[in-house]
Structure 1
Amino acid sequence: MRDVPAPAVPRRYRCALLCGALVLLTSCGWGAGGDGAEGGLPGVPTGVTAAAGSATTVHVMWNAVDGVGTYEVYRGGTVVKEVPASERMVDVTRLRPSTAYAFTVRARDAEGRLGPRSREVRATTPAAVNDGSAPTSPGDVRGRAAGSRAVQLTWSAAKDDRGVVSYDVYQGGTKVHSVGGNQRAAVVTGLRAGTRYSFTVRARDAADNLSPAGAAVRLTTPGSDDGRATAPTGLRAASHLADGAYYLDLTWVPPRIDGTVTEYQIHLDGRAATSLVYGADAPRDRAEYSFYAGREAGVTHRVRIRARLADGTWGGFSAERKVTLGAGP
């Protein structure tokens, strides 16, 4: 991030956050989009599940819906969480022990229109316990590819003096899935062919104590991925002068993938120069960004861009463009 000597300056028409560190945005419950709704509304989220994660939390997951900006998670008739389109899971917290809850999910598109509610799913939190001891790590963690876009993980039970309520699956350092304490397997989908992944599993008890991670499982999905399907397209680069300094002006078309891309990495002259992270208003049809490039005219730069995908990996690079500071269009 220190290759560019001054902070990026976003244009007025785009509000974005320039980060010094990359933010991993991953999700679980990837899958096919929901059924389309009438009148062009977002589809109905499918595959919705809910399971207690502790005495005060419930983990809700669902499949992707095409063309959404955010998801709304409801407890009964009340919105309790709003989730960006790049995610398909959420932990609903601050619940009561020994209580039954009902959850539904709705998709909201970029224009703010809400689709129909998903089917209702129910989960009951276990009784509260006074427990300061975390479970042991899950043992014998193993994994295998289940096609080119999914992996199946298995493990042996962790031990806890009050009992394990749930198991959390992590991809790298990010939680991507959760199953009940009586399960010893999980399937993580929405992955890329020919890509190396690392997974760990942690156990959670009713008091929300989390175990250390079990042994990491590292595996590569079969097949190949040349990156073209996940690369931004239509990249254009120009420059403009403002207050004695030159700025690079980029426009591109986001890749057509499940969900919305909320993070990009810009490479300048073969090295990472800056990261761009959007919120819920991430562009879907055309993205624009401008950043500081120096004060010397006539310098030629090479620029390309790539997107952070829903599975936490980087997609393919766009075509590289050359731009000379101060040159005409």
Structure 2
Amino acid sequence: MRGPAVQRPTVRTVLTCTALLAATLTTVTGCGGAKAQPARDTSRPTTPGGVTAQAGSAHSVHVMWSAATDDRGVAGYDVFEKGKKVKAVPARTTMVDVESLRPATSYSFTVRARDAAGNLSAPSAAVTAKTRAPAPDDRKPPTAPTRLTGKVIDGTSVSLTWGRATDAGGAITAYDIYQEDSRIHSARGTETSTRVTGLRPGTVYTFTVRARDAAENSSGDSKAIDLTTARSSGARASTAPTGLTATAHADGVQRTIRLRWTQPRTGGDVTEYQLYLNGKMATTIAWGAPPPPGPVTYSFTVSEPPGTRYSVKLRAKLPDGKWGDFSAQRTVVGAG
């Protein structure tokens, strides 16, 4: 007598992915779906334009250019001297000093833009510059440029104009433009105006100019000028404190820096600020209650020797808890 029939499980073969899908996609990630790899970036950046080269001294040449563009973003620039790469800089930099050159020698430079995938643009037009003849032992700096003025052109550029400097040892070879404490541009020694580009809309910038001679001596700073670039359409108003001044004081052995500024309009009370000293956050300034309207003051002690140079700027904590825009930067020399 036969026993009851045993029902066997049905075995089916299930294809996790169709052949068509596997052939179409480069990467298959199981049954849950497929993920296609992004297309390989083979597009080259545009060629940098506006390349210039000027001798800075007997051993250096200053090379500048206009920013290039790329469909996925420029990652940096490479500078070549007769086909040999001599400098590499990040995308935010559009100038560089090529150094350790021979005196009274002609050099030819080109610039190429580079993207994150390593694609290089075509070389720029070649520009030439001849280093200066060896300078005599000159250690005296030029006088500082005078009468610095400026004008906002648009949201990303400004123009600057200044009075000529003089140098007892010879001619002025260049004027260096500084934003806060960083050199961002250079003009020829025969020029007394320039255009600074690559700025951010709705941002306050503090510019100074220094003169430089053939022996690479730099003058002191010109008088500073603050310029605020135009805001983009629909952008929020600036939240930077305005009218910042910094003065140095000494009372016996105690030396202080006194700050005075006007509070930003934020739509609410501002009871806290961050103070930056020489580019680094130094302290938080907090009031127990909202300070009175109008200018406010704050003093802090310094321990460095008299004559020390300080750069200061600050920003407010906004009612939403975020930090606002930085004020213009001020430079002050410690009293003694």
1:152 aligned to which of 155, 159, 164: 159
Unpaired runs of 5+ in structure 2? 1-40, 237-271, 275-319, 330-336
Contact 2:151 2:159 in 1 (8 A): yes
Q: What is the TM-score when the length of structure 2 is the normalising length?
A: 0.55
- For residues 233-272 of structure 1, the aligned pairs below 5 Å read none
For the residue of structure 1 that corresponds to 2:56, the secondary structure is: strand
2:181 aligned to which of 159, 168, 173: 173
Contact 1:194 1:225 in 2 (8 A): no
Question: 2: CA distance between counterparts of 1:81 and 1:179?
Answer: 20
Contact 1:54 1:125 in 2 (8 A): yes
Question: 2: CA distance between counterparts of 1:146 and 1:303?
Answer: 33
Q: Count matched residues.
A: 203
Question: 2: CA distance between counterparts of 1:59 and 1:122?
Answer: 11
Would the alpha carbon gap of residues 271 and 88 (structure 1) be closer, same or farther in structure 2, given more than 3 Å must change? same
Give the aligned CA root-mean-square deviation in angstroms: 3.0
For the residue of structure 2 that corresponds to 1:123, the secondary structure is: strand
* Aligned position for 2:115: 109
1:51 and 2:58 are equivalent in the alignment? no
Question: 2: CA distance between counterparts of 1:40 and 1:305?
Answer: 39
Identity %: 46
Question: 2: CA distance between counterparts of 1:170 and 1:44?
Answer: 27
Contact 1:138 1:156 in 2 (8 A): yes
* Aligned position for 1:241: none
- Give deviations 1:152-179, integer Å, cap 9, x for gaps: 1111111112111111001111111101
Which is higher, the Rg of structure 1 or of structure 2?
2
Question: 2: CA distance between counterparts of 1:118 and 1:305?
Answer: 41
Would the alpha carbon gap of residues 114 and 158 (structure 1) be closer, same or farther in structure 2, given more than 3 Å must change? same
* Aligned position for 1:322: none
- Give deviations 1:169-208, integer Å, cap 9, x for gaps: 0111111110111110111012233321110000111111
- Give deviations 1:230-268, integer Å, cap 9, x for gaps: xxxxxxxxxxxxxxxxxxxxxxxxxxxxxxxxxxxxxxx
* Aligned position for 2:143: 136
Paired AA for residue 126 in structure 2: E
How far the C-alpha of 1:149 sits from its partner, in A, is: 2.4
Question: 2: CA distance between counterparts of 1:77 and 1:43?
Answer: 18
Unpaired runs of 5+ in structure 1? 1-37, 229-269, 273-301, 307-311, 314-329
- For residues 80-119 of structure 1, the aligned pairs below 5 Å read 80-119=86-125
- Give deviations 1:263-282, integer Å, cap 9, x for gaps: xxxxxxx999xxxxxxxxxx
1:193 and 2:201 are equivalent in the alignment? yes
Question: 2: CA distance between counterparts of 1:305 and 1:220?
Answer: 19
Contact 2:156 2:198 in 1 (8 A): yes
Paired AA for residue 105 in structure 2: T
Q: What is the TM-score when the length of structure 1 is the normalising length?
A: 0.56
Query: Which one scores higher on RCO, CA 8 angstroms, separation ≥ 6?
Result: 1
Contact 2:206 2:224 in 1 (8 A): yes
* Aligned position for 2:217: 209
For the residue of structure 1 that corresponds to 2:207, the secondary structure is: strand
